[in-house]
Amino acid sequence: MPLTQGVEKNMLTDPILKALVNLAETEGTSITITLWVNGLVISGKVISHTEYQVAMADLVAALVFTMPQGLETLGQEKREKIQAALTSEVSHPDSDEVTYIHLSDVQQHVGATRLEFSNICWRGRIASVDGFFLGSIVPPKQAQSWA
């Protein structure tokens, strides 16, 4: 029997993390955070669901305009449908329950290596976050030679 069986869904998510996501949703507050998600360490700025949707729509539109084959054959009408689908209210339930956390300025940390991604937003389930801290991991400075 799974350990979480019989446990309410609300008990599986960190209320502080949910409050930080709600700040981004209601106040537009962008906080830098580092998350541990199933062994992955990822840093970024918490953004609202709306900011995430707009960024994704912009990314898809940019891909549509730059793809050498395939997507470039889509007409303007189809591009608009893609953007509308990504920014629709259907993809964001009206409930007060926060389910996902959205990050911009994403960095993934693998050991002492930091991988930075430009123009990438990240989305993950809050219930999948194992731990977090405010701020990001700064790689150690190279040792200075005194010689």
Q: How many CA atoms lie within 13 A of 25 on its CB side?
A: 17
96-147 pLDDT tens trace: 578 999 999 998 988 777 787 777 889 999 999 999 999 988 766 644 554 4
Q: Nearest-CA neighbor of 106 among 26, 42, 59, 56?
A: 42
Residue of 37, 4, 46, 18 whose CA lies nearest to 131: 37
pTM of the model: 0.72
Q: Is the pLDDT of residue 32 over 90?
A: yes
The pLDDT of residue 138 is 74
Task: Kindly indicate the confidence band of residue 41, based on its pLDDT and cuts at 50, 70 and 90.
Answer: very high
Look at residue 118 in the predicted model and tell me its pLDDT: 76
The helix (run of H) or strand (run of E) holding residue 71 is none
Whole-number pLDDT of residue 89: 52
Per residue in 54-109, pLDDT (tens digit) is 888 777 777 766 655 555 555 556 666 766 776 665 445 455 578 999 999 998 98
Which tokens sit at 30? Answer: 């962008």
Residue 117's pLDDT is: 78
| Three-state secondary-structure class, residue 133 | strand
